[in-house]
A and B are shown apart, each in its own frame.
Chain A
Amino acid sequence: MRAMVYRGPYKIRVEEKDIPAIEHPNDAIIRVTLAAICGSDLHLYHGLMPDTRIGHTFGHEFIGVVHEVGSSVQNLKVGDRVMVPFNIYCGSCWFCARGLYSNCHNVNANATAVGGIYGYSHTTGGYDGGQAEYVRVPFADVGPAKIPDWMSDEDAVLLTDATSTGYFGAQLGDISEGDTVVVFGAGPVGLVAAQSSWLMGAGRVIVVDHLDYRLEKARDFAHAETLNFAEYQDIVVELKKQTDYLGADVVIECVGAEADGNLLQHVAGAKLKMQGGSPVALNWAIDGARKGGTISVMGAYGPIPNAVKFGDALNKGLTLRMNQAPVKRQWPRLFEHIRNGYLKPSEMVTHRFPLEEIPEAYHVFSNKLDGCIKPLIVPSAA
C-alpha cells in the first residue's frame, strides 16, 4: 500500500508499505477513503514530539471502509463505512469506564501521561496512522462508529478530531450565559470552539490570530469579533480595553506549540526545541483572562517543560482545564448540531490533496499558504 512516511523534521514522503495485519482479536483493518492533516501533525512534522521514529506514518483524522476484522469483533463487519476517533482506547480500564477516553491506560505502553493516538509518535503508543491506504484500528468495537447515511464524508472526517476538539474546548471553558469568550487561534479547532461558545450561550466571542484570511473566516463562519494581534503593540492590553478592564470570562487556547507572537519564545520552543513548544498563546490566555475566570487549553505541547507564567495563573485565581478530547463522547450531540445546521465543519475545508502530494500538503498547511485552513488527503485507492 501507499503511505505517508516521516523522514525527519520538515521531511516526509510517500512510500510502499505492507498492508497492516490483525494483531489482536479486536483489531480491524480499515481502507482509508478520506484523511486530513491536523494542527497537531505539525508538531510531529517539525520534530517537536520526542520519540517520533523515521518511517512513522502520521494521521489521526480519517474515515474509511472496514477491510478485515479480528475474531472478537462484534459491532463492525467488512464493508461498513466508519469514522474513527483520533483516540485509541480500550473502553474498559479505570479511565475509559469513567468517560476519559483520551486517557486510556491499556493502549500506550510508552507513556502513562498520554493515551493512545493514531500516527502520533511512539510517545502516544507507536501506532501507524491513517495518512495511508490502510490502517490498523485496535478495539474496533469501541472507537469506530458507522457513518450515518445523511452525513457527508467531509463532515465525518472533521468529526474525528477538529470539530469534536473545538466543541470540547468550549465545554471545558464552563461557559455561562452572557460570558465574554476569547478564542486564541483561528485554525479549525479555534473556529469550532468559537461557534460552540455561542451554542453554550456566550454573549460575546472574540477570536485572536494574525492571519487575516483566517480571521475573516472567524467573522463569516463563526460570527465572532476578531483581533489581529500583529496590529497591536500588546494584545493583552487590547483585550483588557475590549472587556472594560475585566479580562475575558473564558479563554480557549487553540494554538499550541508553534505559537507565534514572541520571537524569543518561538525560536526557543518551536525552532530550537529547548522547551516543549512555544507557550506564547498560553501566556496571553493567562494574562487576558479575568481574575477568577477559566482557561481551557486545547493547544498541544510536548512533554518537555515550558516557560509558562504559572505564578500569574495562581495570583488570578484562574481555573485551568485541558485534555486531549474524548472524541466519541461528543458525537451524539454533535451529530444533532450538524443535522440542525448549527455546525458546518465541511465549510472549513480549503484543500484536497491526493496522497501522493502529501509533502506539498504539509508544506502548504504548515506555512499557511494559499488561504489554507483545513487540507484533506485522498488516498489513491479511495
Chain B
Amino acid sequence: MTENDIPTAYVRDKRTVRETNEQLRARIPGWGADLDPADRPSHPKLRYAPETTGAHWEFPERQPGSEGRERSIEHAFVTPVFGTAQPLTGASGAIRRLAYERFSEGRLAHWMLLVVGDRVDAWGSHLRSFATLRPDVPATGMRAEFTHGGLSSRRGRVDARHHVLDPVVVGGPWVLAAGVAVVGARRLARAVRR
C-alpha cells in the first residue's frame, strides 16, 4: 500500500472526491433547498410557540367518563382526553388492569402482563368466535398468496426462510389447541360414559 492508497479514515483530511454541488443540483431536483440547519422545521427541538397550535384553552376541558378508566401510574390523573375504544372486560381486562394499577411503565412486569392480557383476549375471542357464523382462522388475507404472486414475489429473497416460520408461529398454537381440545373431549366423553 503506497501512501496515496491509505484510506481517508487513517489520515488527517478527507481526500475522497464527491460530486460537486452543481452536479448534484443538476441531477437532483431541489438539492440543497434546506441546506441551512437553522432553517429546518424541527429546529430547534424545543421551540416555545403555543400560539401557533390552534389550542384556545389553557388546559383542555375534561372529557366525561374517566372514572374507573385505567391509566399509567406515572400520570397524575386520567388525561383530559382519552380513547374509549374497547374498554377493559373479562379475564383479559383484569390482567390488564393489574398491569396498570401495580406497575409503572418502567417495570418489565407491566409490559409482560399486558402481553399476557393480549393472548388471553385473543384466545377468548377465538373460542367465542367458534360459536358464531364467522369463526376465526389462524391467519387472514391468504387469498392474496394466489392473487398477488405469493410464490413469484418471494423468489430468491432472504426473508423467505423467515416467512416459512410464519405458519409454525401462527398455526402452531392452533394445532396445539386443537389437540388439547380433542384429548379433553375424549376424556370428557369417557368420564360421562363411566
Contact = CB atoms under 8 A, between A and B. Distances in A.
Given A7-B136, A122-B86, A245-B7, A90 B80 contact: yes
A373 B146 CA distance: 19
Contact of B114 (A12, A13, A51, A106): A51
Given A263-B161, A271-B165, A96 B105 contact: no
Given A13-B134, A110-B71, A341-B29, A127 B118 contact: no
Contact of B140 (A12, A113, A127): A12
* Interface size range of chain A in the complex: 35 or more
Nearest to B106: A113
Contact of A10 (B82, B105, B138, B145): B138
A50 B111 contact: yes
B55 A142 contact: yes
Q: What are the 7 closest A-B residue pairs judged by CB atoms, nearest first?
A: A342-B30, A126-B83, A363-B141, A91-B55, A91-B53, A8-B122, A50-B114
Majority SS of interface residues in chain A?
A: loop
B18 interface: yes
Contacts of B169: 271-272
A77 B26 CA distance: 44
Interface in B1-60: 7-10, 14, 16, 18-19, 21, 24, 27-35, 37, 40-43, 45-50, 53-60
B86 A54 contact: yes
Interface string A78-108: 0000000000101110001111110001111
Interface in A120-149: 122-123, 125-128, 138-139, 141-142
B42 A367 contact: no
A368 interface: yes
A252 B160 CA distance: 25
Interface residues of B, number: 102
Contacts of B9: 244-247, 290
B194 interface: no
Contacts of B145: 363, 369
Nearest to B69: A109
Interface string B146-158: 0111100110011
A370 interface: yes
Interface in A308-345: 326, 329-330, 332-333, 337, 340-343
A238 interface: no
B71 A369 contact: no
Contacts of B122: 7-9, 47, 54
Given A98-B46, A223-B28, A363-B141, 10 more contacts: A11-B137, A91-B55, A98-B47, A107-B79, A111-B72, A112-B75, A141-B55, A244-B7, A363-B140, A367-B150
Contacts of A272: 169
B18 A97 contact: no
A57 interface: yes
A364 B40 contact: no
Contact of B159 (A55, A203, A210): A210
24 contacts: A9-B170, A10-B138, A11-B139, A24-B60, A26-B60, A55-B86, A55-B125, A56-B86, A90-B55, A99-B49, A109-B83, A110-B71, A125-B82, A141-B54, A141-B55, A198-B31, A200-B34, A200-B35, A230-B157, A263-B162, A305-B108, A332-B41, A359-B140, A369-B153
A11 B137 CA distance: 7
